[in-house]
Amino acid sequence: MKNVLVVGGAGYIGSHTVFELIENDFSVVVVDDLSTGFEKAIHKDAKFYKGNIKDEEFLNEIFKKEKIDGVIHFAAFSQVGESVLNPLKYYENNVYGTMCLLKSMIKNNVNNIVFSSTAAVYGEPKKVPIEETDEKSPTNCYGETKLAIENMLKWFNNAYGLNHVCFRYFNAAGAHKSGLIGEAHSFETHLIPLVLKVALKQKDYISIFGTDYNTKDKTAVRDYVHVQDLATAHIKALEYLINGGKSDVFNLGSGIPCSVREIINAAKEVTGLNIPVKEEKRREGDPSILTASFLKAKKVLNWEPKHKNIKEIIESAYLWHKNNPEGYVVKAMSINY
């Protein structure tokens, strides 16, 4: 049985990947400092160490104790607006934190890492769907830190033989089919959870940021990809690296363009509830259209998104939000995997 270290396994995409790994008979060790993740999101069959990746001794202890075949690294701050206001926090946690993790991996002869990057490395695209070779020009500090890590991985691969797969996620959405884990942030900024909060009367209206984009209905278009599809990609990448695949970078998206208004309408249909909207000006730094070409992941990793219908994605998110209106806080005691 392969032993995987999931760093940031208590977060949104991390916790879903841990579930998927365990369902596929991997043995899982989770490291998380719980700064943004939740202990309740960690699968009961995973071994959990609470701590920060900047703590080298802590990491070295784990690598010595556990026989790790590969690392999946999700631990990062990911709020775009905050990253612009507080870049120090983002460079320190994301870039320096990853450097410490890689240093410890090299020291302990662990050579395979799957890294969570982001479509934010592209900035405002010149064309869509975006391909991996397209220009990288982040418009915020969050994307900049992820690009810095991608470059660090390239040089570490060259010098130390550390093999990596970087995944540039488009818009992660949805929740585990069980309804037991889902998206929960202490400060929510993402469209789908906010729209569902409005449907559930936890919020009065949903703001539409920008109604003057050059798109089909004048609102911004994104590529929403189900979190369970993202989880599956990580397992494929890990197997690819363990079997000697060469280091590479892949987009992960559904390839289906969806506007803000389309999301709101789909959520109305799924929930059967009223969702009042308020049209507002554009949010700073938001590109008009971001959609992925995932052909490279399909060709090299044999990965393809299974959830291709936005209503299906929203349905899974709704199941989670309806049953856990306060995220992990209130239902904490009643979760039973």
Q: Which residues does the annotation mark as catalytic?
A: 142
Of 98, 112, 171, 291, the one binding ligand UDP by CB under 6 A: 171
- Per DSSP (E only), the strands in the chain are 3-7, 27-32, 47-50, 70-73, 112-118, 163-169, 171-173, 206-209, 221-226, 248-252, 257-259, 277-280
195 vs 241, which CB is nearer to ligand UDP? 195
Q: Residue with CB nearest ligand UDP? A: 220
206 binds ligand UDP (CB under 6 A): yes
| Near ligand UDP by CB under 6 A: residue from 66, 82, 134, 286 | 286
Q: Does 216 sit near ligand UDP (CB under 6 A)?
A: no
264 binds ligand UDP (CB under 6 A): no
Indicate whether 166 belongs to the interface with ligand UDP (CB under 6 A): no
Element (H, E) at 157: helix 141-160
Distance between terminal CA atoms of the chain?
22
Ranges of beta strands (E only) in 11-162 are 27-32, 47-50, 70-73, 112-118
| Near ligand UDP by CB under 6 A: residue from 59, 153, 191, 310 | 191
Interface residue with ligand UDP among 283, 306, 311, 322 (CB under 6 A) is 283
Residue 199, interface with ligand UDP (CB under 6 A)?
no
- Identify the CA nearest to 203 among candidates 188, 185, 184, 219: 188
194 lies in the binding site for ligand UDP (CB under 6 A): yes
B/e letters for 59-92, b = 16+ CB within 10 Å, e = fewer, are beebbeebebbbbbbbbbbbbbebbbeeeeebbe
Q: Please give the size of the binding site for ligand UDP, defined by CB under 6 A.
A: 14
For 84, residues 6+ apart whose C-beta sits below 8 A from its C-beta are 140, 141, 285
Does 209 help bind ligand UDP (rule: CB under 6 A)? Answer: yes
User: Is residue 310 part of the contact set for ligand UDP (CB under 6 A)?
Assistant: no
In this chain, which stretch among 21-29, 40-48, 202-210, 240-248 interacts with ligand UDP, using CB under 6 A?
A: 202-210
Q: Does 266 bind ligand UDP (CB under 6 A)?
A: no
Nearest CA among 194, 136, 190, 191 for reference residue 168: 136
List contacts with ligand UDP (CB under 6 A): 171, 189-191, 194, 206-209, 220, 222, 260, 283, 286
